[in-house]
Structure 1
Amino acid sequence: MTSSSSPRPATAVLLAAGRGSRMQSSRPKAMQRLAGRPMLAHLIDSAARVFDKLVVVVGPDMPEVEQLAAPHAVIVQNERLGTAHAALQAEALFGDGDVAVLYADNPLISSDTLSRLLTESRKDDTGLALLAMRPAQPGRYGRVITSAQSHNVQKIVEWADATPEERAVNLCNAGVLCAKAQNFRRWLKEVKNTNAKQEYYLTDVVGLAVREGVSVKSVEAAESELRGINSRAELAEAEAALQQRLRLHAMEKGVTLVAPETVFLCTDTVLEADVLIEPNVVFGPGVTVRSGAEIRAFSHLEGCEVQSAAIVGPYARLRPGAQIGEEAHIGNFVEIKNSVIGKGSKANHLTYLGDTSVGTRTNIGAGTITCNYDGASKHKTTIGDDVFVGSNAILVAPLTVGSDSLIAAGSTITNDIPPDALALARAKQVNKPGLGKKLKTALKNKKGNG
């Protein structure tokens, strides 16, 4: 019988004080990004689905980590004396229920795994629960040694201290622990720093619990969830694992990925059913693509929304604030920023539209740009319905282009255009008979004599 339905509260303590020195970075380890988000943000999301309260332990002078942790409680570990010492800093916020200690550099643990861990720790015959994995390459992970009879955890042995028989065990420690708050407090206070680094290690809690005769149980999960991230190489491995997870989820929801391994997603990317994604597409944060839209090869999208049946790319860039309407076409080498493109409108080639509103069924010719910045302020361009903008047009904001108007190719437009009008704004062409050939001959002679 379990007490998983117990009303007693559960608190997760997230250790995020690491400096990231092994990553050769000036940014805290918890702020290193996976799928477009800091590692700590991934862990907060998973933990918040399971635990009633979160406490984030940060190092001194880490304002960005504190900001990310808000509105959850934040405790500062002023001296970095080890993981047990870090967890003990949050003791006053443990409460009277259950406590789990997690690591910001172990960010891919799912809420399902955390729920299984909490459920195990609340069983009547469990005093301490820990997460464990069976990695393909156990390497130098600490080994979880269990009893052959009860399968209870007897000890955790670091690789350097393990016997050949213990090293042959493939059940490895992930470092995450969960127990009743009153027991966790006591064990943390009993941890000693009698080791080479003179640090207080959280894993020593397991030995203390076993010596008290407490039943310690392991909860297994996949290596892809429990991998620790301490280097750039491990960060890249975790990114690959997370991307695989995101791609499979998208395809299960009805998205076509022509070459899945070449598409990179963010954790908040929204792709509806029947979306088609061609190879080598990158999604930054904040992207939504509606059903039936196509994102063609080598495009980059961030902070934008693409409506149904729209086509984006190849080689297109959608920047934050881009809103692409139904059946609109955004073609090769087109950049859209903070702009709304209406239903059925097209910008198929070599165009920049910034701070622009485009109506329905409008055609933007190749080489068109909206000049939205005057060196001090941004200005808006408004283009109506059924407008034809000729190639190589320059539209200088602030500007309004009326519906059903036509802008001649090569025009530089600085004044508003009324509806139905034809706008021409270019220098008059002058032809000088014979002068072209004469100039070419002169230039060739000059080059030859040089």
Structure 2
Amino acid sequence: MSQRSCLSVILAAGEGTRMKSAMPKVLHAIAGLPMVAHVVKAAEAAGATGLALVIGHGAEEMRQAAQKFAPKAETFVQENRLGTAHAVLAAREAISKGYDDILVMFGDTPLIDAGALATARQKLAEGAAVAVIGFRPPNPTGYGRLIEEDGRLVAIREEKDCSEEEKTIGFCNAGMMAVAGKHALRLLDKVGNSNAKGEFYLTDIVEIAGAERLDVVATEASFESALGINNRAELAEAEAIWQARRRRDAMLAGVTLIAPETVYFSHDTEIGADTIVEPNVWFGPGVKIASGARIHAFSHIEGATIASNCDVGPFARLRPGADLRQKAKVGNFCEVKQATIEEGAKVNHLTYIGDARVGAAANIGAGTITCNYDGYSKFFTDIGEGAFVGSNSSLVAPVTIGKGGYVASGSVITESVPDDALAFGRARQKTLPGKGRELRERFASAAAARKKAAV
């Protein structure tokens, strides 16, 4: 089958009014990726060599989004919504290019398994003209039933048209199918609209193909894989299913999740074996973690690279561009953005490091911040290897702290510090004997006067 070419036609023109959103339904995200992009990924994993997106509502927004997740896809606009067969035929130009297999998919089924698509394609390779993907929901009420005779699919019957016997069938239509490319346009063009709604239904090609004595079969996908999303409650259900799958995959790959149900992955999270993730950790897009790291509880990480044996959190935030090298430490209530924390460096407490480099084995004291933004532009702070920055220091960029440099606690550093130098950037302490007692007495007297005046 690897030799066969395949076009995936993804129907994504629905308005999704039940989402109560101005955004096209299929652009709502699962694990940080539009649901239609999940469908694209499944199609590609099943061997699709061409992609055709049939769009409608929000066409320009869809085109712009598709440039990110499917830059090679062709887009076709379904101007009028006249049924699923009509939608597929909007991609007539792409279908006519002579692909061996045509996969028809829906942009609102983000959990579809690539294996189910590959199975349907295999049936085409074995000689079937149409392979319909079915599933067995816990309750088949409301779904079209797949009517089979002697191992062949003879019809897809909507529930309202089913006999009482047919209503007992638990094998239902998932909507997706594979059609042999050499038959596709002919079968689609034969679909009529003589029904109550006057629409062209894709399901009709089952009986049309059967009438031509072509082989039509049904294959089976899991209920979860066929789940369609129509509202935000169902979107949340799909997110939960996706996360549960991803957590299991991570644990089977050697990652320890202490409380799996509280950890949230993004669609592209990469995490190495022997990493330990504590409860309530959120991974946004673009996170890569090598083996042996430890991510402590309540950390929020996105767009970050974490090398082996790093230690992050608890309550740490790593923003895009954070790059932690081996054995680096970013501790509690610290934020790192667009900065490299080199091998063995420590950023332990209540600290902000942005647009910076922290050299190997350097130590950044509690409450230190890099002052990287003047309201208009960002500036860089370079902290050398083995440097020590005392607590509650402000490093006003652009500035360099040299190798082995030492910054005294409470300093405001506005000039670069040479290698091995000690820098003070604070007002000299002045001590006034007895002044503390005098201030307390003055403040107490003023407070008593205010209280008396209020009576």
Distance 2:4 2:61 in 1: 32
Counterpart Cα distance in 2 of 1:159 and 1:270: 44
1:112 corresponds in structure 2 to 115
Q: 1:29: which partner in 2? A: 25
Please tell me the residue identity of whatever aligns with 2:93: A
Instruction: Return the alpha-carbon distance in structure 2 between the equivalents of residues 221 and 185 of structure 1.
Output: 26
* Equivalent position of 1:73 in the other structure: 74
What amino acid does structure 1 have at the position aligned with 2:38? H
- Alignment counterpart, residue 130 of structure 2, candidates 120, 128, 131: 128
* 1:103 matches 2:106: yes
Corresponding position of 1:162: 162
Give the match's secondary structure for 1:129: strand
Within 5 A, what are the aligned runs for 1:325-340?
A: 325-340=325-340
By how many angstroms is 1:32 displaced?
1.1
What's the counterpart of residue 62 of structure 1?
59
Q: For the Cα contact (< 8 Å) 2:24–2:57, is it kept in 1?
A: no
Deviation at 1:440, TM superposition (A): 2.7
- Name the CA distance, whole Å, in 1 between partners of 2:238 and 2:426: 55
* Match runs of 1:104-253 below 5 Å: 104-124=107-127, 126-147=128-149, 150-253=150-253
Structure 2 CA distance, aligned partners of 1:63 and 1:339? 36
- Equivalent residue, structure 1, for 2:312: 312
Larger CA deviation: 93-102 vs 339-348: 93-102
AA at the equivalent of 2:56: G
1:60 offset after TM fit, Å?
5.6
**Residues 293-337 of structure 1: per-residue CA shift (max 9 Å, x gap):** 001111111111111111101111111000012111111111111
Q: Distance in 2 between matches of 1:392 and 1:163?
A: 77
Q: Answer whether contact 1:146 1:154 (CA < 8 A) is retained.
A: yes
Per the normalisation by structure 2, the TM-score is 0.93
Tell me how far 1:196 sits from its aligned partner.
Answer: 4.2
The one-letter amino acid of 2:25's match is K
- Tell me the equivalent position of 1:442: 445
How far is 1:431 from its partner?
A: 3.4
**Cα deviation digits, residues 321-375 of structure 1 (max 9, x gap):** 0001211111111111100001111111111111011001111111111111111
Cα deviations across residues 371-428 of structure 1 (Å, max 9, x unaligned)? 1111111111111111121111111111111121221222211111112222222223
Give the one of 49, 52, 60 matched to 1:52. Answer: 49
Alpha-carbon shift at residue 51 of structure 1 (Å): 1.8
TM-superposed deviation, 1:140:
1.9
User: Secondary structure of 2:132's match?
Assistant: strand
Alpha-carbon deviation of 1:108? 2.1
Q: Which moved more, 1:325-334 or 1:197-206?
A: 197-206
In the alignment, which residue of structure 1 is the partner of 2:372?
372
Moved more, 161-170 or 360-369: 161-170
Shift in Å, 1:102: 0.8
Separation in 2, partners of 1:272, 1:39: 26
Relative to structure 1, the CA distance from residue 355 to residue 216 in structure 2 (aligned partners, 3 Å threshold; closer, same or farther) is: same
Q: Distance in 2 between matches of 1:372 and 1:196?
A: 66
SS of 1:108's partner is: coil
CA distance in structure 2 between the aligned counterparts of 1:383 and 1:222, rounded to whole angstroms: 54
Task: Tell me the CA shift for residue 169 of structure 1.
Answer: 1.4
CA distance in 2, matches of 1:383, 1:35: 36
Contact 1:20–1:26 under 8 Å retained in 2: no
Tell me: CA distance 1:437–1:63, structure 2 relative to 1, closer, same or farther (3 Å): same
Q: Partners of 2:438 and 2:424 in 1: how far apart? A: 27
Q: Deviation per CA, 1:225-252, whole angstroms, max 9, x where unpaired?
A: 1111111111111111111111111111
Superposed CA RMSD = 1.7
Partner secondary structure for residue 147 of structure 2: strand
Deviation sequence 1:191-250 (CA, Å, 0-9, x none): 233444433222222232233333321111111211111111111111111111111111
Query: How does 1:73-92 map onto structure 2 within 5 Å?
Result: 73-92=74-93
- Sequence identity percentage: 45
Could you say which residue in structure 1 is the equivalent of 2:260? 260
- Which TM-score applies when normalising by structure 1? 0.94
Q: 1:195 to 1:442 in 2, by over 3 A?
A: farther
For 1:226, what is the secondary structure of its paired residue?
coil
- Paired residues, what number? 443
Match of 2:93, SS state, is helix
Partner Cα separation in structure 2 for residue 358 and residue 400 of structure 1: 10
For residues 339 and 188 of structure 2, the distance between their equivalents in structure 1, rounded to whole angstroms, comes to 55
* Structure 1 segment 345-364 matched on structure 2, within 5 A: 345-364=345-364
SS at match of 1:114: helix
Give me the whole-angstrom Cα distance separating, in 2, the residues matched to 1:104 and 1:405.
Answer: 57
Per the alignment, in what secondary structure is the counterpart of residue 355 of structure 1? strand
Amino acid at match of 2:415: N
SS in 2 for 1:121: helix
Partner of 1:383: 383
What letter corresponds to residue 24 of structure 1 in structure 2? K
Alpha-carbon offset, residue 175 of structure 1: 0.6
Between 1:179-188 and 1:397-406, the stretch displaced more is: 179-188
> Residue 264 of structure 2 contacts residue 281 of structure 2 at CA under 8 Å; is this kept in 1?
yes
Deviation, structure 1 residue 8: 4.8
